[in-house]
Amino acid sequence: MDRVASVSTTDTRELDYVAKNVLWNRLISVCEEQANALMRAAFGAIVREAGDLSAGIFNADGEMLAQAVTGTPGHVNTMAASVNAMLNIVPSSTLSDGDVLVTNDPWLGAGHVFDFVVVTPVFVEHKIVAYLASTSHIVDVGGLGWSAEARSVYEEGVTIPVMHLRKRDVINEDLLGIVTANSRVPHEARGDILSLLSCNDTGAKRLDDLMQEYGLCDLCEISNFIFQRSIQGTRAALQLAPNGEYHSELLLDGYDSPITLRARMRIHDEHVEVDLSGSSPAINRGINCPLNYSAAYAAFGIRALLTPQVPNNQASLNAIRISAPPGLVVSAERPAPVSARHVIGQALPDLMFGCLEKALPDQVLAESAGALWTLSLSGTGENPFTSLNVVLGGMGARPTVDGLSTTAFPSGVGAVPVETAEVAAPLIYHSKEFITDSGGAGRFRGGLSQRLEVGSNCGQELNLAAAAFERLNEGPVGRQGGHRGSAGKVFLSNGTRIHDKGFHRIPAGETLVLQTPGGGGFDDPIHRDRSAVKRDLAYGLISEEAATHIYHLNDNNSEE
């Protein structure tokens, strides 16, 4: 039976302007319910608690119409291209009602083997009218696990080519068996993949209800409306940015040596072009980034500043074109290792902001902590476990307001609560607190970072994969005279410093201490409002020394 078989062509009616706008918002709400269903059903805390996922509705041509508010740009914007990429391998003409496709191919999906993309066609009268798609992180799929140590993608875990997860309502147990046989947490891996299938089914049911309510037999009319309005809004927004060519460069710690990211941006009346060809070559460690993931975050950075009011869909994304020759750290090709691809990908919004600052001075936020610090701890022996969490840095100050503290920008995910993490694994979190003076000083202060201390709750030795610890050498840059945010720092309670992205052993009885980077400041700190300085001092966000020597709180010549 067709998923939306109850909709009859005789029930269709032409939608007026108001109805189209309402329906557009209703489609977004369907995506949000889809995402919420995924968070409820997910086994892994990184999805269930942190929201490391995406969900969306696509039209019959595989073009994204709407996305959930919950989710990350790296998942949503890669998924916008994934559906058609998957349909090029398994054509829509071969699909039947009840079929579901899946892949975790990094070059078709979200950039590494841990992220699975699931696509479900929706039928009306034996014809595909839409697709529901979702993506989320599976904690372990074999190989070296969460690590940048692999020399190729083949070492990073099992890759599932595009295939059926479900065929005419029959789940592909052979596929799930391959995944679980390679996973250190097979029960969780199986449950997370099936949660993606379940969330798409939830979205399909809600879309069924919506199409019946509006008497629709397809989404052609609303697709045209969404895309036309998005194109108009994008073009109007781009008119506010001066046409021209702008350049930016960003230096990252890298793995064995620093990595340079370079961008040449051309702003036109109707689109933006970005060339990343000056960036460093790909390396033989897993911080390389496939171009699909680089493009996702670069596009997010541009849209966040230039077109923030335009909803994210195929039309608004088509106005941004990201290119790079193959073989760079931003455009790695198979079989390059890519597990920690977000170290590069999540730095690209700041690279885009560096270009846009030249086009729109005084309107661009300072640099943020960038790459999400992924805390991957494991234990062997009598208490084997794998624990995945995230530790958040500070967001850069904005032109008129302080940066947000301990905020995952640009990814937007949250951390797994300490209580949940301690229940899921034999760990104890000894502290989690703001770091005084970590936000870059400025008229508007950068967001504060955090200090987190964690260890075993049963005295066992722990293993740490430090793949995502970035900005340990220099903190994020401030803008317009604002100071840098603090650099990150990783060390053990015995004083041992961790400087690289490799594997590290935490001896029994020792704890791990993480200090994430703070956000950059905006404008000269001497111009900061005196009451704001006093408030920061009273709350312990800045020290007496900073108040006196950086903000000149007691200087009679300072501004009141």
The per-residue pLDDT for range 533-559, each reduced to its tens digit, is: 999 999 999 999 999 999 999 875 444
Q: How far apart are CA 345 and CA 294, in angstroms?
A: 5
DSSP category for residue 52: -
Residue 382 has pLDDT above 90, yes or no: no
Mean per-residue pLDDT, 359-366: 95
Q: Tokens representing 90? A: 């398994």
pLDDT at 464 over 50: yes
How confident is the model over 406-432, as pLDDT tens digits? 999 999 998 999 999 999 899 999 999
Q: By the 8 A CB rule, do 254 and 63 touch?
A: no
pLDDT class of 389 with cuts at 50, 70, 90: very high
474: which DSSP letter? Answer: S
Task: State mean pLDDT over 361-372.
Answer: 95
* Axis-axis angle for helices 173-182, 186-214 (nearest 10): 140
Question: Would you state the pLDDT for residue 44?
Answer: 86
Check residue 95 and give its pLDDT: 98
Residue 333 burial by CB count (10 A; 0-12/13-18/19+): exposed, middle or buried?
middle
**Taking the domains of the chain in order of start, what are their residue ranges?**
9-218, 239-362, 365-560
Which pLDDT score is estimated for 560?
43
**pLDDT score of 368:** 98
Q: What is the pLDDT of residue 64?
A: 97
**What share of the chain has pLDDT > 90, as a percent?**
89
pTM of the model as a whole: 0.94
What is the tens place of the pLDDT at every residue in 281-304?
Answer: 999 999 999 999 999 999 999 999
Residue 392: name the closest of 379, 378, 409, 417 by CA: 409
What is the predicted pLDDT for the residue at 408? 93
> Which stretch of DSSP H or E encloses residue 247?
strand 244-252
pLDDT (0 to 100) of residue 556 = 55
The conformation of residue 269, written as its DSSP 8-state character, comes to S
Mode of pairing for the β-strands spanning 272-275 and 320-323: parallel
In Å, the largest CA–CA distance within the chain is 79
- Mean pLDDT for the stretch of residues 46-70: 93
Q: What is the pLDDT of residue 10?
A: 42
- The proportion of the chain whose per-residue pLDDT surpasses 70, expressed as a percent, equals 97
- Mean pLDDT lowest among 6-15, 91-100, 257-266: 6-15
Q: What would the two tokens of residue 206 be?
A: 């809600």
Average pLDDT of the chain is 94
Structure confidence at residue 378 (pLDDT):
92
Measured between alpha carbons, how far is 481 from 522 in angstroms, rounded to an integer?
A: 7
Q: Any idea what the Cα angle at residue 257 is, between residues 256 and 259, rounded to 5°?
A: 125
- Whether 339 and 286 have beta carbons less than 8 Å apart is answered as yes
Do 359 and 242 form a contact (C-beta atoms < 8 A)?
yes
